[in-house]
Chain A
Amino acid sequence: MSNVVVPTTLDEALALLAADPQLSPLAGGTDFMVEVNHGARRPVRVLALRAVAELRGWRRDGDVLVIGAGCTYVSMADPAFAVAAPALAQAARTIGSPQIRNVGTIGGNLATASPAGDTLPVLMALGARVEVASTEGTRTLAVDELITGVKRTVLHPAELITSVRIPVARGPQEFCKIGTRNAMVISAAGIAVVLDREAHTVGCGLGSVTAAPVRATDAETFAAEAIDWSTLRAGAGTTERFGTLAADAATPIDDHRSTAAYRRHAIGVMARRALERCLS
């Protein structure tokens, strides 16, 4: 690696990217630098984004939460953030350790595009919109348009994720994940369930059980019809059926973290529990 450039403005960062296709963006580095230290990633030149203030933090814009790509997990675990985006705050609190949450970012989680990225199921359940910029302009993508496979995205070399937009919570939300231990764990399976009491819809995103992010749409449709939206109650067997349908949407694999069978089972259990917690 011959150079690291450290821009302080977004315009500067985009201009640098446009001029150099071999420039690799680096956010918190919690995935990137591990690969560099292992010798598994050998970047030619690095664009370190830590100093770009415009990408940091989050703000509320009416019914929408605008989260900067450089917003750290610790910022998303903030109580004020948790009021507006409970499931995303829950996911942020489970990621890594304090040292990781202090530097790791939502933009990095998206761009890394690991199936085990813990914000991804939540962003899918919320129908998040990801803003991507280059010197040519901006475009907005859904998470499943951005991420097309394991560590694969449609980002061009000159493009940078700049922000993520999600609706402010209009009902209960839950995030669950399971791994081989409690601390510093990479999820073997994860799930987010989001209820919208005004639109009468249910969002359900799955983590670590598909190559690219998916929603469990059959489970969503079933639950939206089964829930009595005025009381937030549902008839006997609703949450069990929801769990079964969510598990049906999983296409997990056997790997060093878990087995396909266990992952599918875990999704069913966690989906049921998450919906139970959302209901009265």
Chain B
Amino acid sequence: MRASTDPHGKGVTMDVTAIVNGVERTADVEPRVLLVHWLRDELGLTGTNVGCDTSSCGACTVLIDGRSAKACNLFAVQVDGSDITTIEGLAIDGELHPMQQAFHECHALQCGYCTPGMVMAAVSLIDEYPDLGDRGVRVGLEGNLCRCTGYQNIVHAVLQAAGEQERHP
């Protein structure tokens, strides 16, 4: 990464290179730009929603080097050299990721606003803790709010997807 003009001047931009959904992306980014805004506004990956801007709601959850993080809580320039996965990176050749498929089958959404973040948090969760159980899923999704309060079907979906993963490792 390098700054392209006077590092203390105004209008400075920095080169950021990151793998986003498997593709290397390089961009000139203003240092103040949040990761979530870079993903949405510059890369057009609008699946990652902005909910609260204060790391409370989890709507902006993405994976950074495989681990869930809130994209409103990082400057884009901080992920230089990292591997980022957003909701758009889960399906392969149009085939839904098992977690997306489970959310679809269990009707684990109402308005859908929290869904991308919920799915990304759940993907990270069952990757780290494959044998969660109902309580483990509920605790593990503590960083994601669903204001439709549709948690029951979300828990069903995550458990179903965890089973899918066990059957098809």
A binds B: yes
Give A contacts to B, CB under 8 Å.
1-6, 26, 28-30, 33-34, 37-38, 45-46, 48, 50-51, 74, 96-100, 102-103, 182-184
Instruction: Please indicate which of the listed interface residues A48, A98, A102 has the most CB atoms of chain B within 10 Å of its own CB.
Output: A98
Nearest-CB residue, chain A, relative to B144 = A97
**Interchain CB contact under 8 A, B73 and A30:** yes
Judge whether B48 is part of the interface by a CB distance below 8 angstroms: no
Judge whether B115 is part of the interface by a CB distance below 8 angstroms: no
**Interchain CB contact under 8 A, A2 and B10:** yes
**Interchain CB contact under 8 A, B31 and A97:** no
Q: Which residues of B contact A1 (CB under 8 A)?
A: 31-32
**Interchain CB contact under 8 A, B144 and A37:** no
**Interchain CB contact under 8 A, A29 and B142:** no
The distance from the CB of B28 to the nearest CB of chain A, in whole angstroms, is: 14
Top 4 closest pairs, chain A to chain B, by CB: A97-B143, A183-B142, A4-B31, A102-B67
Q: Which residues of B contact A51 (CB under 8 A)?
A: 78, 80-81
**Interchain CB contact under 8 A, B8 and A45:** yes
Nearest-CB residue, chain A, relative to B3 = A3
Give B contacts to A, CB under 8 Å.
1, 3, 7-10, 12, 14, 31-32, 34, 53-56, 58, 61, 64, 67-70, 72-75, 77-78, 80-81, 121, 124-125, 128, 139-140, 142-144
**Interchain CB contact under 8 A, B80 and A6:** yes
The distance from the CB of B168 to the nearest CB of chain A, in whole angstroms, is: 24
Q: A2-B31, A102-B69 are in contact. Are A33 and B7 (CB under 8 A)?
A: no
The distance from the CB of B131 to the nearest CB of chain A, in whole angstroms, is: 14
The distance from the CB of A177 to the nearest CB of chain B, in whole angstroms, is: 14
Q: A37-B54, A184-B143 are in contact. Are A3 and B68 (CB under 8 A)?
A: no
Q: Which residues of A contact B10 (CB under 8 A)?
A: 2
**Interchain CB contact under 8 A, A6 and B68:** no
The distance from the CB of A222 to the nearest CB of chain B, in whole angstroms, is: 36
Contact for A46 among B67, B75, B142, CB less than 8 A: B75
Q: A2-B10, A3-B7, A184-B143 are in contact. Are A99 and B55 (CB under 8 A)?
A: yes
Nearest-CB residue, chain B, relative to A103 = B69
When chains A and B are docked, how far (Å) is the Cα of A265 from the Cα of B6? 56
When chains A and B are docked, how far (Å) is the Cα of A31 from the Cα of B140? 21
13 A-B contacts (beta carbon < 8 Å): A2-B10, A5-B7, A6-B80, A29-B78, A30-B73, A48-B75, A96-B143, A98-B121, A98-B125, A99-B70, A99-B73, A102-B64, A183-B142
**Interchain CB contact under 8 A, B74 and A103:** yes
Nearest-CB residue, chain A, relative to B65 = A102
Q: Which residues of A contact B68 (CB under 8 A)?
A: 98-99, 102
Contact for B73 among A2, A48, A103, A184, CB less than 8 A: A103
The distance from the CB of A244 to the nearest CB of chain B, in whole angstroms, is: 33
**Interchain CB contact under 8 A, A2 and B143:** no
Beyond A5-B7, A51-B78, 14 extra complex contacts between A and B, CB < 8 Å: A2-B9, A6-B78, A34-B73, A37-B53, A38-B54, A46-B31, A46-B75, A74-B67, A97-B144, A98-B140, A98-B142, A99-B143, A100-B70, A102-B69
The distance from the CB of A79 to the nearest CB of chain B, in whole angstroms, is: 12
Q: Which residues of A contact B128 (CB under 8 A)?
A: 98
When chains A and B are docked, how far (Å) is the Cα of A99 from the Cα of B69? 4
Q: A29-B74, A30-B55 are in contact. Are A97 and B142 (CB under 8 A)?
A: yes
The distance from the CB of A31 to the nearest CB of chain B, in whole angstroms, is: 9
Q: Which residues of B contact A6 (CB under 8 A)?
A: 1, 77-78, 80
